[in-house]
Structure 1
Amino acid sequence: MPTRAGRGMKETISCVEETALKLDLTVSRTNKLSQDEIITNALLTSPPDGIVVVDFGQKVKEPFLSTPKMGCLNIHPSLLPQYRGAAPIQRAVMDGQEETGVTVFRLVEEMDAGPIWGQTKIVIDPNETSGDLFKRLAKEGSNLLKVVVKSYNDGTNKTTLQNSELVSYALKIEKSETQLDWNTNAWYFHNKVRALNPQPGAFIHYKKRRLKIWKTTVHEEAGTPGEVLDFINGFPLIALGKQAVLLLEVQPEGRRVQSGADWSRGIHLKKGDNLRE
């Protein structure tokens, strides 16, 4: 279904629909698949070989699960059974995981619990954002889908049941989680910043105004939490106890994203100031 974006809330279409239209393929939109009689009748009248679901946002039920010969395949951006649920990329980054991956599996009634058709692992860079990781996993997922579909057609595909003892969940990010705390350690702070980039963004309050922090790096300097320890090439180095973070990109309330160096110069931030004020 289309979404609305921008100041005028103009209707936009997904890249999938855009590509389908270029290829002169039929596109159907639905607000609720389980109650859409037109799409359901089309499925039952002319069953497809398979259905692929990616970032759909709706629970897929019968008869869509079992009618196609291949079933209904989903590309999930985690190494299932780890990080089942709505926010697997953000949660993996927030948890400081060093690797993740993508899984192609067959949908069943239970969320993200179906048999695995294929997986690919990748290493997470310690400064990589959720947005950057999403792009890499999208490419890996599309390549993996081609592999598993080919193996199905060749009759060589093998499936693996998920180990229920290894299940973990990636719950939706709540608004209450987006505020940063100077009393946490530097890596926790840094991981939350990159996990919430590009959406919805992590923030602090400085002088009673919201300041979003979009990009940081961790350094080994120690000091009082929130204290400006130094400036590196103009970028402020802020203490979080035993370590510190360098503020590379920030966004003052009501303004555009800017470098930490430009922001600190603009407010005349100096060594010894404390951002907990």
Structure 2
Amino acid sequence: MRILLIASAFNSLTQRAHAELRERGHTVSLALADGDEVLRDAVARHEPELIVAPMLKTAIPRDVWSRCTCLVVHPGPPGDRGPSSLDRALQEGEDHWGVTVLQAEEQMDAGPVWATEGFAVPPGIGKSDLYRGEVADAAMKAVLAAVERFACGGWAPRPQSGLPVRARPYLSQGERRIDWEGQGTEAVLRALRAADSQPGVRDELLGAEWFLHGGHAEDRLRGVPGRVLATRAGAICRATADGAVWIPELRRRRTADGPPTVRLPATLALGDLLPDVPHLPAPLELPTHRRTWSDIRYAEEGDVGFVRFRFPGGAMSAVQCRRLLAAWRYARSRPTSVIVLGSERDFFSNGIHLHVIEAAADPAEESWNTINAMNDLVEAVLTTTDRLVVAAVAGNAAAGGAMLALAADEVWCRAGAVLNPHYRLMGLYGSEYWTYTLPRRVGAEAAATLMEEAAPVGAARARELGLADRVLAASPQEFAPAVTRAAVELADTGDLRVRIGAKKAARERDESAKPLAAYRAQELQHMHATFFAPDAPYHALRSAFVHRRPSGSTVARCEELSRLPQRHAHIAAHGQVCQI
């Protein structure tokens, strides 16, 4: 079936919808909802049989939804309406939520329901993590059911008339405001988590106005409410009325005549404003009973070591890369036979930290330092030949982050993960030894295609291509336990030592044929030329990405994805869904 995806941004859910619908044999086109005329033109050019809107912030024009069935994903249960549905659900402490696929009509979020899916909201989770995890899983299940129902013909969507309506108007900064002296830790965390990536919580701190991004509980530190108590790994700890919270990132509020601002690690954003407070690093092997924040942890289960990391937005600065490299070296010092690298849920890694680079005094130099730090980390994984390495990809991975995963011996993906193993959209040749690891896994021809198409790849397709070795059909909360069980089983297999020996011999043969240093030098030659060329597209593309501005290539990119050759379905396109 010809499906047109329309979205306000090519975000994680839109990428997943694009990948999974194509995997099921549909011909999928893409258009960004940048005005009514853009949508009308896209409909006229692509002549879709169905329009699906995974993430839409604006209304679809009447002449479009009256001409073609338009299915809209709403991040709330039937009867829920408004642009701040998920924000309010988290701020109000909902423990169960849902996603509805409804048909676009005159009144937003009020059309008949084609499918709906509910899910439990895990405790202590932020909006962006929930959106990419449980919300995305429920949304895709509902979208696929709705698409099948439409394709079957004769299936009538359920009107919302008669359902109790719960209007959730836009959640303003006034309603998000934190009362540091009057609110306890749990209330503060609800406010922070409901706004973690966007829009943040506006607040006054150290004589300036900021947006606070992210929030994690602290179980020991106490102080005057609102005061900064300590720092750790770029985050600041602030006292609440009854405890304290860690805030990883800040963004300074832009003044009317000031330059755009970017979200940064909190200590970097504060700069000279940061008071003289203690720096309190967390131990790598943090006791499980502690309720505190750390972005890198190490744990062991049997003969398996787990290097777990979670960086906001999946981005990695030079400092973060070096800290993760130190954790990797620690893991290698331990008497294990398997090391698992990855987060327990959400992003694996999206590569270099473009926000930190954009804010640097010399973005070219910061780019160079960061890519070299990423390369050092990937090299350390590639040259770990005395044990087996598993990359646990709980969520999305892109660019250098995807190549970090491919440096492992085995890549285990959660079924909902999306990979973007390419660099072209940021105007980069790429590094992180991709010219070695990508062809090694998928072959030279497929590697070239992945780099050129620059399209999102779903987990099932990644398994077919050789980008992944296992796909775990687990929920976001169940992924880490499933990986632990599988890794312990792997460590207990009788032929593990034989596999490690064969791996070591293969690395030595590859090194003799072409040293890793040669791959690195060739890749970095391209990257250096780009980083230090003032007119290189990378600089404008990076700035547009960081400041959320549409770049001149946005429309062209949509057309590229719309022209991708249709994939043969590897999953049954029709089944029992028509009878639901």
TM-score, length-scaled by structure 1: 0.69
1:228 and 1:26 map into 2 onto residues whose CA distance is 49
Aligned to 1:238: 239
Choose the corresponding residue for 1:108, options 86, 105, 110.
Answer: 105
Q: CA deviation at 1:267?
A: 2.7
Aligned to 2:53: 53
Report which of the two structures shows the higher radius of gyration computed on alpha carbons: 2
The alignment partner of 2:149 has SS state of helix
Q: Mean alpha-carbon deviation: is it higher for 24-33 or for 149-158?
A: 24-33
The 8 Å contact of residues 236 and 266 in structure 2, kept in 1 or not, is answered as no
Q: Which runs of 5+ in 1 are unaligned?
A: 4-12, 271-277
For residues 218-247 of structure 1, what are the alpha-carbon distances to aligned partners after superposition, in whole Å with 9 as ceiling and x for unaligned?
769998744789999x9847232xx43332
Aligned to 1:94: 91
Q: CA deviation at 1:215?
A: 1.5
2:264 and 2:213 map into 1 onto residues whose CA distance is 12
1:152 and 1:257 map into 2 onto residues whose CA distance is 46
Query: Residues 14 and 229 from structure 1, CA distance in 2 versus in 1: closer, same or farther, beyond 3 angstroms?
Result: closer
Q: Mean alpha-carbon deviation: is it higher for 91-100 or for 245-254?
A: 245-254
The 8 Å contact of residues 221 and 239 in structure 1, kept in 2 or not, is answered as no
Identity %: 20
Q: CA deviation at 1:99?
A: 1.6
Where do residues 67-216 of structure 1 align in structure 2 (5 Å cutoff)? 67-68=67-68, 71-82=69-80, 84-136=81-133, 137-154=135-152, 157=155, 159-162=157-160, 166-182=164-180, 183-210=182-209, 212=212, 214-216=214-216
1:165 and 1:221 map into 2 onto residues whose CA distance is 47
2:236 and 2:61 map into 1 onto residues whose CA distance is 51
Q: CA deviation at 1:198?
A: 0.3
1:170 and 1:163 map into 2 onto residues whose CA distance is 18
The alignment partner of 2:250 has SS state of strand
For residues 108-138 of structure 1, what are the alpha-carbon distances to aligned partners after superposition, in whole Å with 9 as ceiling and x for unaligned?
1111001111111112122211111111222
Report how many residues are paired: 248
1:35 and 1:166 map into 2 onto residues whose CA distance is 35
Q: Which runs of 5+ in 2 are unaligned?
A: 1-5, 253-260, 279-580
Q: CA deviation at 1:192?
A: 0.8
Query: Residues 77 and 131 from structure 1, CA distance in 2 versus in 1: closer, same or farther, beyond 3 angstroms?
Result: same
TM-score, length-scaled by structure 2: 0.36
1:236 and 1:64 map into 2 onto residues whose CA distance is 50
1:227 and 1:27 map into 2 onto residues whose CA distance is 47
Query: Residues 142 and 223 from structure 1, CA distance in 2 versus in 1: closer, same or farther, beyond 3 angstroms?
Result: same
Higher helix content, 1 or 2: 2
Q: CA deviation at 1:74?
A: 0.8
Query: Residues 47 and 158 from structure 1, CA distance in 2 versus in 1: closer, same or farther, beyond 3 angstroms?
Result: same
The 8 Å contact of residues 204 and 213 in structure 1, kept in 2 or not, is answered as no
Aligned to 1:267: 275
Query: Residues 28 and 130 from structure 1, CA distance in 2 versus in 1: closer, same or farther, beyond 3 angstroms?
Result: closer
1:208 and 1:103 map into 2 onto residues whose CA distance is 43
Query: Residues 25 and 127 from structure 1, CA distance in 2 versus in 1: closer, same or farther, beyond 3 angstroms?
Result: closer
Q: CA deviation at 1:193?
A: 0.4
The alignment partner of 1:166 has SS state of coil
Q: CA deviation at 1:167?
A: 1.4
Aligned to 1:257: 265
